[in-house]
Amino acid sequence: MARVFKMLMRQGLLVLLASLLAIGTADAASDGIYKELQWEALIPKGWDPAKQFKSLDLSTLKDADPRAMDALRAMRNAWDNAPAEASMNGRNVRLPGFMIPLDKTGESVRTFLLVPYFGACIHSPPPPANQMVLVVVAKPVRGYQTMDPVWVNGTMEVQRSDSPWGKTAYVLKALKVEAYQR
């Protein structure tokens, strides 16, 4: 009898533990397991896209100067290939930014770019790849427009992708998207 009681207690505790874990996962976005990030955290320490231009005096160049065109191409290449911060892979994060819908049907958005400042990507050139995040939501979100400020909670992956608005170094699998409020 004591053995049966212990077995039932263990099973009961396991069911209780599983229930608590399920509740905790469903409400994970609001219980603090998502670390709030600043955009600078997505840039690896020591990455300096401007170092190759330090010897170039841009003030002496005209727009049509071939050296200016070469510098612009080199800058675009450096930004498109901007390295990701490897420690972000698999982290649960909370990141603010501005939304650029990529997959919008009516009012529903399933994928969007998250960018650090208003107007990024809409005006040329887009930010470096490590300053653009492709967000994929499990359930479409509604009621958002281009450049709406939002908070996104989810799991970050280091994964490069292309979009019509620029290259990204990260994919954020979003659990929660909400209007930005400080």
**Structure-token match 């799991």, residue found:** 155
In a domain, 161, yes or no: yes
Going 120 to 125 to 130 to 132, the CA torsion angle's sign is positive
In a domain, 59, yes or no: no
- Please tell me whether residues 139 and 164 are part of one structural domain: yes
**CATH number of the domain within which 108 lies:** 2.40.50.870
For residue 31, name the pLDDT band (cuts at 50, 70, 90).
low
Q: What is the pLDDT of residue 126?
A: 92
- Please tell me whether residues 128 and 102 are part of one structural domain: yes
> Residue range 167-174: average pLDDT?
98
- Please tell me whether residues 8 and 87 are part of one structural domain: no
Most confident of 29-33, 61-65, 157-161: 157-161
- Please tell me whether residues 39 and 129 are part of one structural domain: yes
Residue 152 has pLDDT above 60, yes or no: yes
CB contact at 8 A, 154 and 105: no
Residue 182 has pLDDT above 90, yes or no: no
From 88, 92, 4, 5, select the one nearest 41 (Cα to Cα).
Answer: 88
From 125, 80, 110, select the one nearest 177 (Cα to Cα).
Answer: 110
- Please tell me whether residues 43 and 129 are part of one structural domain: yes
- Please tell me whether residues 91 and 112 are part of one structural domain: yes
In a domain, 64, yes or no: no
Number of domains in the chain: 2
In a domain, 119, yes or no: yes
**Structure-token match 């003030």, residue found:** 59
In a domain, 151, yes or no: yes
- Please tell me whether residues 12 and 38 are part of one structural domain: no
> Residue range 109-113: average pLDDT?
97
From 168, 176, 165, select the one nearest 125 (Cα to Cα).
Answer: 165
Find the domain containing 145 and state its range: 34-47+82-179
Cα–Cα distance between 55 and 15 in angstroms, integer? 66
- Please tell me whether residues 102 and 144 are part of one structural domain: yes
CB contact at 8 A, 96 and 149: yes
In a domain, 27, yes or no: yes
pLDDT in tens, 34-49: 999 999 999 999 999 9
Encoded tokens for 122: 């809409």
- Please tell me whether residues 27 and 89 are part of one structural domain: no
Cα–Cα distance between 136 and 174 in angstroms, integer? 6
Residue 119 has pLDDT above 70, yes or no: yes
In a domain, 104, yes or no: yes
In a domain, 75, yes or no: no
